[in-house]
Amino acid sequence: MLKGHLDMIVLAALSAAGPAHGYAVIEEIKRRSGGAFDLPEGTIYPALHRLELGGLLKSSWMTADSGRRRRVYTLTGTGNRALVERRAIWKQFSDAIGNLLGGARPRENPA
Amino acid sequence: MIADYLEQLERELCFDRSLSRCVRQEVEDHLWEAVAADPTGNTLQAQRRAIANFGDAGAIAAQFAMVSLARQSRRAGVVAVLVVASVFIAMKARLAWYAAAQWALSDDVRAVGGLVSRVDRYAFLLSVIIGLGGWLYIRSRQIPAGFDPAYRSQLRRFVLLCSATAAALVVSVISDGVLTALLLHGLEMSVAFTVPIASMTIEAGCLGILVFQIRRVTRRAASTAALQQT
């Protein structure tokens, strides 16, 4: 289930952390989820590359304090819009599931 | 230990050399940062833990194969448009040369020339429309995490569009060849022949590049499917 939402998770982490490299993105995901997401760290990188190819992220290389080359990712305008869209869909979905599991009556449409 | 893991990852990513180099640098930075952040202070154990947390190199390479395939197919879409544009420039350059040299079809082949010219025009127009369509189609597709059936059929459609572009261009280039042969027929061989012959060679070369790109996409798709199955 987590895999299906990996893109949204990565976008949300980058939105919260600002420009960040892969390791920082993973740390942000761990921190914000309270360590709930336990997926192989390596799976984040194909997702970052895929999102960049899709125009949702852009990246640039810099030299870290350690002297190693580091790739830093930033959310693009398209990425921001995609995140807003996915957040709305997720909220709708989680509200519906919450209502279903909680037994609350669905809100009626004020039509 | 990290060096061995990076070597293995690079080997697994051998299907895309530039991606492999870039991923190696990224992963190297990640693993050493994880080692530096390890609270135990035992470097060997920290390296082992960093690698274990990162995941199996083969599984990661399989996920990158999908990224590589998407990049390859998008590149093929751009190449299709560039090839069509290059053929157009070569064609126009040749026509400008004919006008400058005041070469024209002789009366006895003018009717045939007119017919071939019409075929050439429509075939080229078709290649422009399909080529642009293919490029727009593939660049507007979302890239999935795995090589799922939906993306497979999208890729199949794209390859079909690229093949149709190439087929239309083949007709156009052959028509150009026929027109060039009709025009040069009966003229005495001279240095001036270099321009039409060179432009025809460029057209054929561009076509070859497009066919090569289509072939690369189909081969990459097959290898990605195989990688994702393992």
Residue A109 predicted with pLDDT over 60? no
Quick one: which of A61, A53, A3 has its CA closest to B26?
Answer: A61
Cα–Cα distance, B121 to A46 (Å, whole number):
44
User: Which ranges of B102-146 would DSSP assign to H, the alpha helix?
Assistant: 110-139
Q: How far is B213 from chain A (nearest CA, A)?
A: 19
Residue A111 predicted with pLDDT over 50? no
How confident is the model at residue B189, as a pLDDT?
78
Q: Is B63 a domain residue? A: no
Q: Is A72 a domain residue? A: yes
- B54 in contact with chain A, both atoms CB, cutoff 8 A: yes
- B22 and A68 in contact by Cβ < 8 A? no
Cα–Cα distance, A41 to B47 (Å, whole number):
14
Q: Is B176 a domain residue? A: yes
ipTM field = 0.82
- Assess whether B50 and B102 both reside in one domain: no
Average pLDDT over residues B146-161: 93
Nearest to A41 among B23, B53, B63 (CB): B53
Q: Residue B106's pLDDT band (boundaries 50, 70, 90)?
A: confident
Nearest to B64 among A41, A46, A68 (CB): A46
- B49 in contact with chain A, both atoms CB, cutoff 8 A: no
- CATH number, residue B133: 1.20.120
How confident is the model at residue A21, as a pLDDT?
94
Average pLDDT over residues B147-159: 94
Q: Is B62 a domain residue? A: no
How is residue B198 written in tokens?
Answer: 């060179």
How is residue A58 written in tokens?
Answer: 């852009």
Cβ of B7: how many Cβ atoms within 10 Å?
12
Q: What is the pLDDT of residues A20-72, one digit of tens each?
A: 999 999 999 988 888 787 778 999 999 999 999 999 999 999 998 888 899 99
Q: What is the pLDDT of residues B8-19, one digit of tens each?
A: 999 999 989 999
Supply the range of the domain harboring residue B20. 2-55
- CATH number, residue A18: 1.10.10.10
Q: What is the pLDDT of residues A68-91, one digit of tens each?
A: 899 999 999 999 999 999 999 989
The pairing of beta strand A69-75 with beta strand A20-21: antiparallel
Q: Is A109 a domain residue? A: no
- B29 and A69 in contact by Cβ < 8 A? yes
Instruction: Domain count for chain B, please give it.
Output: 2
For B22, which residue in chain A has the nearest alpha carbon? A71
- Assess whether B201 and B113 both reside in one domain: yes
- Assess whether B104 and B180 both reside in one domain: yes
Residue A3 predicted with pLDDT over 70? no
